[in-house]
Amino acid sequence: MPEYHVVAACSELPDEGQMHVELNGKEILLVKHDGAFYAIDYYCSHEMFSLEGGDVHEGCITCPYHGAEFTLDNGSVQAAPAWESIATYPLKVENDTISISVQG
């Protein structure tokens, strides 16, 4: 059974907001989009630049540096120049807390 760790309060992340989180040596980008929360790799698989600040639309995030695009729910690549998916992490929202699991 996955072990979840509290990383933020829901109230800390506004609609369409993003937050950098470090958990067990992994850097994660927490994203709130259309009222749902997602936990994805902090870095783009193309050049390892941060995805933070990337445009979020229609369930995807676009790398602010070279335009690679990934789905928020499963990390799959939707647009080049990236060819490799990014990791996504399971999360739970209970009361006002967001918890993430990095086991896998």
Quote the pTM value: 0.95
What tokens appear for 90 in the block?
């399971």
Residue with tokens 């690679």: 68
Of residues 74, 96, 103, 104, the one with CA closest to residue 6: 96
Boundaries of every domain in the chain: 5-100
Going from the C-alpha of 96 to that of each of 12, 48, 49, 53, 59, the distances in angstroms are 9, 31, 30, 24, 23
In whole angstroms, give the CA distance from residue 67 to residue 61. 9
* DSSP state for residue 42 in the 8-state scheme: S
User: What is the per-residue pLDDT across 19-73, written as a single tens digit (0 to 9) for each?
Assistant: 999 999 999 999 999 999 999 999 999 999 999 999 999 999 999 999 999 999 9
Count of other CB atoms within 10 angstroms of residue 34: 11
Residue 13 has a pLDDT of 95
- Is residue 1 very low, low, confident or very high in pLDDT (cuts 50, 70, 90)? confident
Contacts of 59 (CB under 8 A, 6+ apart): 33, 34, 71, 72, 73
Identify the architecture of domain 5-100 in CATH. Answer: 3-layer Sandwich (2.102)
Name residue 64's amino acid: P
